[in-house]
């Protein structure tokens, strides 16, 4: 995908996201008509462009489930994925690369679904990360649900699901679930980078237009330092996302989401400082970015939790692979964020 093709594709994606902003359920069908899956099949790294633009648009919808389920060779039609929100579901037992949701004594699991409607089946991985069982339950097995407390559009819901009568999928579930988690994490990472970039652009625009003492506040050194810190965090996370799409390893994808979650938090915090009281108002869009970033960061483990678990993993592992961007062929990544 050359620069002209990328620009045209990005324009088309932005138009679709704007068209389906109020009806995200139809976005999947629109992407099918666009030939989205053929594009990703030919060039998997193109997927990060969609998720980056989704983040920048603060868009709702179930394209995350679509990508994850197709990777598992499960038909995504009218299916949703239940994602864990922690990598430590049991005491002293971290599941850094393949977090699952172990059932309670009553046969129930808890997590989040990023598709508030338009589904009648839920796919979830239960059990231990060393031997997860990928199962499916009908939506009638949902025993409790509520909107995720931070999400601005109620696009993400927290649920309790009864899995005692779940139907188990056959196949090598351990590797399949770990790889699916990697796909979801790099997609979420690209979306978090988009959210951070939007927060930074809002702050820059405000800094240029806002006047104090007869000067634009963007001319003050303190303001520039805030904006520069956010830019560095976003660019570092964007590089990690590129690496994750190029290497496709669980480690690279987990690191990308960790850095993207941290970068989005930094960008939102700095944007709030630069925008001041304006950023606190309900009319200003910054609160939507902050709420969506907090919600997405928690899926499959937030960056604060995974930072601790990365440290524990490094200290206890006998060996671990190096994530070195110099080992990745730059020609294999043709869709920059």
Q: Report d(CA 297, CA 207) in Å as an integer.
A: 27
Reported as a single tens digit per residue, the pLDDT across 27-56 is: 777 887 887 777 777 777 788 888 999 999
In a domain, 208, yes or no: yes
**Cβ within 8 Å of residue 222, ≥6 positions away:** none
> In total, how many domains does the chain have?
1
CATH of residue 229's domain is 1.20.140.10
The pLDDT assigned to 21 comes to 74
Low-confidence ranges of the chain (pLDDT < 50): 92, 333-337
Instruction: Note whether residue 7 is domain-resident.
Output: no
Residue 68 lies in a domain: no
Integer angstrom CA distances of residue 240 from 48, 65, 74, 209, 336: 12, 22, 28, 32, 11
Report if residue 270 sits inside a domain: yes
Q: pLDDT at position 335, please?
A: 44
Angle of helix 173-209 relative to helix 63-71, nearest 10 degrees?
150
| Assigned domain for 57 exists | no
Q: For residue 221, with 0-12 CB atoms within 10 Å meaning exposed, 13-18 middle and 19 or more buried, which class applies?
A: exposed
Asked if residue 66 is part of any domain, the answer here is no
pLDDT of the residue at 293: 96
Closest to 231 (Cα-Cα) out of 202, 262, 196: 196
- Residues 17 and 56: beta-carbon distance below 8 Å: no
Strand duo 131-138 + 121-128: pairing:
antiparallel
Beta bridge partners of 134: 125
pLDDT (0 to 100) of residue 90: 59
Domain that holds residue 253: 176-320
Looking up tokens 């389920």 gives 69
Q: Is 225 part of any domain?
A: yes
């Amino acid at each position: 995908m050359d620069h002209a093709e990328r620009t045209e594709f990005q324009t088309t994606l932005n138009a679709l996201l704007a068209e389906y902003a109020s009806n995200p359920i139809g976005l999947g069908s629109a992407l099918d008509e666009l030939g989205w899956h053929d594009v990703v099949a030919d060039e998997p790294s193109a997927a990060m462009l969609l998720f980056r633009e989704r983040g920048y648009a603060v868009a709702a919808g179930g394209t995350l489930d679509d990508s994850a389920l197709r990777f598992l060779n499960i038909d995504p039609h009218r299916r949703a994925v239940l994602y864990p929100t922690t990598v430590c579901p049991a005491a002293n037992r971290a599941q850094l690369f393949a977090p699952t949701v172990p059932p309670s004594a009553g046969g129930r699991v808890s997590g989040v679904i990023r598709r508030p409607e338009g589904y009648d089946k839920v796919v979830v991985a239960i059990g231990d990360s060393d031997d997860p069982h990928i199962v499916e339950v009908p939506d009638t097995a949902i025993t409790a649900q509520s909107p995720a407390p931070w999400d601005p559009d109620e696009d993400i819901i927290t649920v309790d699901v009864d899995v005692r009568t779940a139907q188990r999928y056959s196949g090598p579930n351990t590797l399949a679930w770990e790889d699916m988690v990697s796909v979801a994490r790099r997609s979420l990472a690209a979306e978090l980078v988009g959210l951070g970039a939007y927060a930074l652009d809002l702050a820059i625009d405000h800094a240029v237009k806002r006047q104090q003492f007869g000067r634009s506040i963007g001319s003050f050194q303190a303001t520039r330092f805030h904006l520069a810190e956010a830019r560095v965090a976003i660019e570092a996370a964007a590089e990690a996302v590129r690496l994750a799409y190029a290497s496709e390893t669980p480690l690279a994808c987990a690191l990308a989401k960790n850095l993207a979650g941290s970068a989005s938090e930094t960008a939102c915090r700095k944007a709030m400082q630069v925008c001041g009281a304006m950023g606190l108002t309900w009319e200003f869009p910054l609160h939507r970015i902050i709420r969506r970033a907090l919600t997405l960061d928690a899926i499959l483990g937030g960056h604060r939790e995974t930072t601790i678990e990365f440290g524990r993993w490094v200290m206890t592992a006998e060996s671990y692979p190096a994530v070195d961007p110099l080992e990745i062929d730059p020609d294999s990544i043709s869709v920059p964020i």
